[in-house]
Structure 1
């Protein structure tokens, strides 16, 4: 008989416990989560803040929050696991009556991009694990991670020489009023620059060399296609990520040199999934931030073929200098570059992947730089 009544009492207690947990488990529990910062740079430490408050007399023996962030966020010794391209993070709380707990989780952003927190799961239960109460929270918190800057002298190799010439120097135009010496004649030099006295002295063709002066606006064009056969999906995204870093570093060097610069690419905005609009050249104090914001928002997905974008820019705008960052040059791109370079437009082409057949494009108005890492890999293979 005593065993029977003990069973009845235990069953009743478990039933009451089940009912209370289900009805009041997450009642009057406040919860919020958000990124502490809104803008950071690749490689920086970022923080996610969790705040939970138990606004009732009943204590909560355990509350589990579970949220997902990008797998590009790194956290040492974390109780989390990777699912696809997401990092699932779990946090456990013990809450006394009317207690508030605030936690600051530290991550390292290892990749540029636009990241969101949107859906959070909160679960609580009794000590025996017999009853649980859960809730799904929808939040709207995001962070923009800017791409890291590169040392362009180390990562870009001029096609025409091994002297480590600065890529931004192509934004400057030779001024005939600032004589800077003489040099040997190159195939793309015009004959009116030949210094006949120096030619007779050194017994080889020599031309006058002039200082460079800033003139005209510049535009950086980034091709998110890693090959001309890609229609929407991009296969070699690592090469494009390298190109994004080059674009950021190039924009910074241009603005540091007081050269108005803009940006455009054939990708998609990660936040809106709409085509990225052209950012016209400017020397405003916030121009670099605008370019970095655009670069951070790039979703590596082809919106339009790069040859169409290039021709549209050349036809509708009058830029004096174009920086073209691309993995390839097809026939249509080559035709546009040759046509407009003959009209005085200066091109600086940065090849993300080594392709010897494009190197013969170099001329007075066309300069080619090779992505150094890709070049070294190609050399090792050959």
Structure 2
């Protein structure tokens, strides 16, 4: 009889503790993780902070935490972190046991191997009772993430077409009258606005005189990146190397020319993620904010075409009313594209093409 009661009591205890832990194990159990920075460059080392906190009087006998990241972030080897990595994603799994009122903080050192937008995504937490009879699963969607910018190439000593738009050579491209710079007076010509008439000089000379305005340079450049690796590409680039080279090159050109005081804009026929409806275009502007906008677009860029490059340029031509300097980065130039380039030239634009067909030996990288 003694053994019978012991078994009965043990069974009751197992059942009761199983129900108790199933009902309370995930209550007041907090989980969070975040990157210390929101942006970085390819090759940078960053830190991910993970916090698990049991804020109740009962322990958590065991806790399995599972999460997933896109491939491209390399985690340092660490105890209690099992990583299985595939071509596109990596799965993380860790086990914990938490006493009452316990907080665990882990710091993960990560190398950003590849550009991209890395969201924290969803974490799955599984826990249960002392003997594994009962278990409960809870998923938690975390906000935030990190944007890994492409590493800009150093283009300062490269033989690029944009060299003709750098430094003092800028003033030879677009010469415009600056309304704030007045260098004297001259005789009135047909088409001069009446507000420019200098009435005192007119009265003195007896003929209409207007302000003569000084000139300034219109130093603006628009870059178009073609993400097609060949003309007949259907949807996704199968040869990404030259396109990735073009992305780093575009980043280098952007950083260099913005540092020279130019204004830069950029567009591409790629997409900014399968779930994004944002247009892959940044209007022409200057300054560090513009650099971050372009770098973020390049980081998020997926090598999935939204339209053929020919059709994309046709759409772009229709929305540009003023003449622009344009740099094309493309793996190929077909007769159809040549015709499209000529249409741009006929509308007053200048077109220069940098071919991406053969990926050269990696050039120096520049810190932006």
Query: TM-score of the superposition, structure 2-length normalised?
Result: 0.77
**Post-superposition CA distance 1:299-318 (Å, at most 9, x none):** 22111111122233344323
User: Could you tell me how far apart the structure 2 residues matched to 1:271 and 1:241 are?
Assistant: 18
Structure 1 residues 174 and 36: alpha-carbon distance in aligned structure 2, compared to 1, 3 A threshold = closer
1:237, distance to aligned residue in structure 2 (A): 2.3
User: Is the CA contact 1:322–1:347 (under 8 Å) kept in the aligned structure 2?
Assistant: yes
Deviations 1:290-342 (A, max 9, x none): 11111112122111111122233344323432111111112221112245447
Match of 2:129 in 1: 126
Matched with 1:165 is 159
Does 2:331 correspond to 1:337? no
> Is 1:307 paired with 2:307?
no
Paired residues for 1:365-380 under 5 Å? 371-373=359-361
Secondary structure of the residue that 1:301 maps to in structure 2? strand
Q: Is 1:278 equivalent to 2:281 in the alignment?
A: yes
1:152 and 1:167 in contact (8 A); partners too: no
Farther off after superposition, 77-86 or 257-266: 77-86
Work out the CA distance in 2 between the residues paired with 1:82 and 1:277: 30
SS of equivalent residue, structure 1 residue 310: helix
How many residue pairs get matched?
313
Q: Return the alpha-carbon distance in structure 1 between the equivalents of residues 288 and 76 of structure 2.
A: 37
In the alignment, which residue of structure 1 is the partner of 2:290?
287
Indicate yes or no: 2:84 matched with 1:85: no
Report the alpha carbon displacement of residue 248 of structure 1 after superposing the two structures with TM. Answer: 0.5
* CA contact 1:47–1:104 (8 Å) conserved in 2: yes
Alignment of 1:194-343 (within 5 A): 215-270=218-273, 273-317=276-320, 318-341=322-345
1:202 maps to which residue?
A: none
Q: For 2:314 and 2:99, how far apart are their aligned partners in 1?
A: 66
Root mean square deviation, CA, Å? 2.6
TM-score using structure 1 length: 0.74
Other structure's SS at 2:338 match? helix
**Aligned counterpart, 1:201:** none
What SS does the corresponding residue of 1:129 show, helix, strand or coil?
A: coil
Rate the CA distance shift 1:277–1:85 in 2: closer, same or farther, 3 A.
closer
Following superposition, the deviation at residue 254 of structure 1 comes to 1.2
Q: Deviations over 1:190-209 (max 9, x none)?
A: xxxxxxxxxxxxxxxxxxxx
SS at match of 2:257: helix
- Partners of 2:111 and 2:268 lie apart in 1 by 28
2:32 — aligned with what? 32
Aligned to 1:17: 17
Where does residue 72 of structure 1 map in the other structure? 72
Q: Deviations over 1:11-35 (max 9, x none)?
A: 2222122112211211221222333
3-state secondary structure, aligned to 2:140:
strand
Which has the higher mean CA deviation after the structures are superposed, 224-233 or 260-269?
Answer: 224-233
Maintained 8 Å contact 1:222/1:265: yes
Unaligned 5+ residue runs, structure 1? Answer: 155-163, 177-212, 355-370, 375-382
Aligned equivalents of 1:331 and 1:25: distance in 2? 67
Unaligned residue ranges in structure 2 (runs of 5+): 174-215, 363-368
